[in-house]
């Protein structure tokens, strides 16, 4: 089974080094807006969560894409990658992603997402506090992902109510 980036919410300090490392690796500039990982901050509770593609097994982004080969899983890394020659920029993948982890490059007019940096994610390498770990999924990880998703949802709903 392919590796993925696991997030430990208790260790994230919202330093955003992961965003800097990602944008530097992919675009040779420190620009969090271009990062493929986004650190969201819920201000009321000072709750931080790095949002990164979960490289889903049956990926909703791939299922929603009208172009058969625009989103493909890299057999070596397990990452779902955007094929720029096939992507038509319709943004259906953005709407389909339950984690909100898909991005869109407004300059190129193409979908944009985490590609795991070829199997060695820069965000993980530069996460000083160990909030990001690149690892093989375990059975319990799926339960942790559900807990993570519920915590994010609850924090968001609380913020919306206020």
User: 3-state DSSP: the chain helix, strand, coil percent, rounded to 5?
Assistant: 35, 20, 50
State the CB neighbour count (10 A cutoff) for residue 9. Answer: 15
pLDDT at 90: 97
Q: Between β-strands 80-82 and 4-7, what pairing exists: parallel, antiparallel or unpaired?
A: unpaired
pLDDT at 137: 75
pLDDT at 157: 72
Listed in order, the ranges of the chain carrying CATH 3.30.70.20 are 53-113
pLDDT at 143: 61
Residues 150 and 9: their CA atoms lie apart, in Å, by: 12
Single pTM value for the model: 0.81
Please state which CATH number belongs to domain 53-113: 3.30.70.20
Fold of 1-52+117-162: Alpha-Beta Plaits (3.30.70)
Residues 6+ apart with CB under 8 A from 147: none
Which own/partner contact pairs does 91-100 have at CB distance under 8 Å and 24+ positions apart? Answer: 92/64, 92/65, 92/66, 93/61, 93/62, 93/64, 93/65, 94/61, 95/64, 96/60, 96/61, 96/63, 96/64, 97/53, 97/60, 97/61, 98/60, 98/149, 99/51, 99/53, 99/54, 99/149, 100/51
Residue with tokens 């943004």: 91
pLDDT at 155: 73
pLDDT at 87: 97
pLDDT < 50 stretches in the chain: 140
């Amino acid at each position: 089974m392919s590796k993925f980036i696991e997030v430990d919410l208790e260790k994230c300090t919202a330093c955003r080094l992961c965003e800097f490392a990602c944008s530097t690796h992919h675009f040779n500039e420190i620009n969090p807006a271009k990062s493929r990982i986004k650190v969201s901050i819920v201000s009321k509770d000072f709750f931080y969560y790095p949002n990164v593609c979960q490289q889903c097994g049956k990926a909703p982004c791939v299922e929603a894409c009208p172009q058969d080969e625009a989103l493909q899983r890299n057999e070596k890394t397990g990452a779902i990658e955007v094929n720029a020659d096939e992507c038509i920029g319709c943004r259906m993948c953005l709407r389909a992603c339950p984690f909100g982890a898909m991005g869109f490059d407004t300059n190129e007019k193409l979908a944009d997402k985490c590609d795991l940096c070829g199997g060695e994610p820069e965000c993980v390498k530069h996460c000083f506090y160990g909030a990001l770990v690149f690892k093989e999924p375990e059975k319990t990880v799926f339960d942790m992902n559900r807990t993570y998703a519920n915590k994010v949802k609850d924090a968001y709903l609380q913020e919306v109510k206020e």
